[in-house]
Chain A
Amino acid sequence: MRYPRLVAFAALPLALGACSQVASLAPVSGGPITSVRIAVYDVLVAQEVPILVAPQCTAVTDGFSCTGTTMDGQEIVATASGASPYALTITVGGTTIFQGNAKDVLDESAKVAS
Chain B
Amino acid sequence: MGLSRRRFLAGTAALAAAWGVSREVMGRALAAPLRLGDAPTTLLQTIRMSAQPVRGSYRTLLAGAGEAFIPRYDVLGREADANRSSSRRSLYYMAHMSDIHLIDAQSPARMDAMQSIAPTTFGVACRPQDTLTVHVLSSMVDSIAASQTSAVTGAPLAAALSTGDSADNLSQLETRWYIDILDGKDVTANSGAAGVYEGPQVWAESTYAYHPDDPSGDAYGPYGFPTIPGMLEAAVTNPVESQGLPVPWFAVYGNHDAMFMGTFRADPELYAWAVSDRKAATGDALAVNWVQGFVSDLSPAQMAINALRQQFGFMPGIKSVTPDPQRKLLERTQFMQAHLDSPPVPGPVGHGWTQANVDSGQTWWTADLAPYLRVFGLDTCNLAAGADGAVPQDQFDWLQGQLEQCQSSGILAIVCSHHNALTIENDAKPVWGGQPLIHAEEFVAMLLQYPACIAWLNGHTHINTITAHIKQSGSGGFWEITTASCVDFPQQQQLVEIVDNRDGTMSIFVTALDHAAPPTWTPGDFTQVGLASLSRELAANAFLDNPTLLVGSPLDRNVELLMSAPFDLSAITDAEVEAQQMRAKAQLIAHGTSS
Verify A24–B64 contact, CB threshold 8 A. Answer: no
- What interface size band does chain A fall in? 35 or more
Q: List residues 404-432 of chain B with CB under 8 A from any CB of chain A.
A: 422-423, 425-432
Q: Is A30 in the interface zone, CB < 8 Å from B?
A: yes
Verify B291–A24 contact, CB threshold 8 A. Answer: no
Interface size on B, residues (CB 8 A): 68
Docked pose: A19 CA to B121 CA in angstroms: 19
The proximity string for B residues 268-299 relative to A, scoring 1 for CB distances below 8 Å and 0 otherwise, is 00000000000000011001100110111000
Q: Is B258 in the interface zone, CB < 8 Å from A?
A: no
Q: List residues 448-483 of chain B with CB under 8 A from any CB of chain A.
A: 460-463, 465, 468, 470
Within the complex, which residue of A5, A21, A28, A53 is in contact with B74, where a contact is CB–CB below 8 Å? A53
Verify B384–A5 contact, CB threshold 8 A. Answer: no
Docked pose: A39 CA to B548 CA in angstroms: 11
A24 CB to closest chain B CB, in angstroms?
4
> Known interface pairs A28-B461, A41-B554. Does A110 touch B548 (Cβ–Cβ under 8 Å)?
yes
Verify A29–B294 contact, CB threshold 8 A. Answer: no
Q: Is A61 in the interface zone, CB < 8 Å from B?
A: no
Verify A25–B432 contact, CB threshold 8 A. Answer: no
Verify B295–A38 contact, CB threshold 8 A. Answer: no
- Among B50, B264, B427, B460, chain A packs the most CB atoms within 10 A around the CB of B264
- A95 proximity list for chain B (CB < 8 A): none
Q: Please tell me which stretch of B181-189, B385-393, B501-509 contacts chain A, meaning at least 4 of its Cβ atoms lie within 8 angstroms of it.
A: B385-393
Within the complex, which residue of B72, B432, B553 is in contact with A42, where a contact is CB–CB below 8 Å? B553
Verify B49–A112 contact, CB threshold 8 A. Answer: yes
Q: List residues 421-449 of chain B with CB under 8 A from any CB of chain A.
A: 422-423, 425-432
Docked pose: A13 CA to B384 CA in angstroms: 11
The A-B contact count (CB < 8 A) is 174
Within the complex, which residue of B70, B295, B426 is in contact with A14, where a contact is CB–CB below 8 Å? B295
> Known interface pairs A28-B461, A29-B425. Does A8 touch B287 (Cβ–Cβ under 8 Å)?
yes
Within the complex, which residue of B77, B122, B292, B432 is in contact with A18, where a contact is CB–CB below 8 Å? B432
Q: List residues 358-404 of chain B with CB under 8 A from any CB of chain A.
A: 382, 384-388
A33 CB to closest chain B CB, in angstroms?
7
Verify A17–B265 contact, CB threshold 8 A. Answer: yes
- A26 proximity list for chain B (CB < 8 A): 121, 386-388
Docked pose: A28 CA to B259 CA in angstroms: 14
- A17 proximity list for chain B (CB < 8 A): 265, 267, 384-385, 430
Docked pose: A11 CA to B425 CA in angstroms: 24
Verify B49–A111 contact, CB threshold 8 A. Answer: yes
Within the complex, which residue of A28, A38, A52, A54 is in contact with B423, where a contact is CB–CB below 8 Å? A28
- A94 proximity list for chain B (CB < 8 A): none
Verify A24–B548 contact, CB threshold 8 A. Answer: no
B385 CB to closest chain A CB, in angstroms?
4
Docked pose: A33 CA to B420 CA in angstroms: 14
Verify B553–A45 contact, CB threshold 8 A. Answer: yes
Interface residues of A (CB under 8 A from B): 1, 4-6, 8-9, 11-22, 24-31, 33-35, 37-39, 41-42, 44-45, 51-54, 56, 71, 106-107, 109-114
Known: A5-B287, A31-B549, A53-B73. 7 other contacts (CB 8 A): A8-B295, A12-B291, A34-B463, A34-B465, A35-B549, A113-B51, A114-B52
